[in-house]
Amino acid sequence: MKPDDKITGRLQGKRAVITAAAQGIGRATAERFFAEGAEVFATDINEDCLRELSGSMRTAVVDGANARQVSEFFAATGPIDILVNCVGYVHQGTILECSYEQWQHSMRVNIDSMYHAIHAALPAMLSRQGGSIINIASIASTVKGVPRRAAYATGKAAVIGLTKSVAIDFVGAGVRCNAICPGTTQTPSLDDRINSFDNPEEARRAFIARQPMNRLGQPEEIAGMATYLASDESRFATGAVFIIDGGYAI
């Protein structure tokens, strides 16, 4: 979290699960929620990075694409107020550059993980007549076509469809579901993709240049929107898609 972030205790007394919380957007969200007073359960497959989170957060190594692991985790955690689905994987390539095995892996990570988490967390939210589910999608989806993102954009488009389906099915039961669509955001995942290019410096410049604001997004900026959607301030918002992309999709 940045030192100048305004902390107001907006999530005091709430219990939140953030998936893929070891790095990037998930980590920034876990740290912001914790600072805002939430009891945070942070999950990831990266045990080493999870250890770097605040000792007061509860952490667990969970593979979001593994239905059994997810079910057992939520059973042990008990009812929650907030679920943030951050698990994601970016496959680079056109559909012709994506094998069926890669396609299946992308769908397991990007959409099946959200199905498992929502399926496990939702019943307790319904019994308590309240909850906020926040799904991290992407502008590479129904929002905008992005070159060489066939599998990734398909999965993230499905995230938006899932978000709207959950929202409409449970709008009268006190449960809200919204999606955030980040643009190009500075994360370890982005660094890995940039470093895979023959000329990483040129690739980074190209990633930056495609935003009209001429910079990358920061994980803390996405976490700020997630905080709003998790809080009671957004209680009239459900089924919505919030774009944070530096103007890329304009």
Crossing angle of helices 113-128 and 150-169, in 10° steps, is 10
Give the separation between CA 162 and CA 136, rounded to whole angstroms: 11
228 catalytic residue (yes or no): no
Summarize the confidence of residues 170-180 as an average pLDDT.
98
Asked whether the predicted pLDDT for residue 45 surpasses 80, the reply is: yes
Q: Tell me if 9 is assigned to some domain.
A: no
Q: Tell me if 194 is assigned to some domain.
A: no
Sign of CA dihedral 153, 158, 161, 167: negative
Q: Tell me if 159 is assigned to some domain.
A: yes
Catalytic residue among 89, 100, 115, 152: 152
Count: domains in the chain: 1
More confidently predicted of 39 and 56: 39
CATH label of the domain that carries residue 73: 3.40.50.720
Q: Tell me if 153 is assigned to some domain.
A: yes
Q: Tell me if 132 is assigned to some domain.
A: yes
Q: Tell me if 213 is assigned to some domain.
A: no
**Which pLDDT belongs to residue 228?**
98
Q: Tell me if 59 is assigned to some domain.
A: yes
Asked whether the predicted pLDDT for residue 138 surpasses 60, the reply is: yes
User: Which of 53-62, 91-100, 116-125, 144-153 shows the lowest mean pLDDT across its residues?
Assistant: 53-62
Q: Tell me if 203 is assigned to some domain.
A: no
**Which pLDDT belongs to residue 54?**
74
* Amino acid identity for residue 16 in this structure: A
Please give the angle made by the CA atoms of 134, 137 and 140, to the nearest 5 degrees: 165
**Which pLDDT belongs to residue 3?**
41
**Confidence grade of residue 250 (pLDDT, cut at 50, 70, 90):** very high
Q: Which domain holds residue 133?
A: 15-184+218-244
Asked whether the predicted pLDDT for residue 141 surpasses 90, the reply is: yes
Average model confidence (pLDDT) across the chain = 95
